[in-house]
Amino acid sequence: MKIKTGDTVKVISGHYKGTVSEVIAVMPKVNKVVVEGVNMVKKSIKPSQVNPEGGIVEKEAPIDASNVMLYDKKAKAASRVGIKLDKNGEKVRYFKKSGEEVKGGKK
């Protein structure tokens, strides 16, 4: 999976199509990502010591990784991602449209 936590992505299909936002979590075993403000669901929370009121909370649910593309802020467009070796011989991700390296993203 070429998407990492902290990357900026654009949703390319579904109800939230066109939304540009940041990745909160990545689940490579099930090929899903959680994107900030995308696929919002309402979840009932039982009362607890931390939250004595309980109630209904809105939170992001995972979406399939095939429904998002990395977003290149300089080109202002979504782009496919490739992997190449840099000067030090380390693998780096790059945007195929512009050729620029992908900045950000945590492992």
Residue 52 makes CB contacts below 8 A (sequence gap 6+) with none
* Statement: residue 9 has pLDDT above 70: yes
**Identity of the amino acid at 31:** N
What is the pLDDT, as a whole number, of residue 104?
A: 72
Q: Is domain 8-95 given the CATH code 3.30.70.260 in the classification?
A: no
d(CA 51, CA 36): 23
Global pTM value: 0.84
Over residues 11-19, the mean pLDDT reads 94
* Cα Dmax for the chain: 56
What is the pLDDT, as a whole number, of residue 107?
A: 61
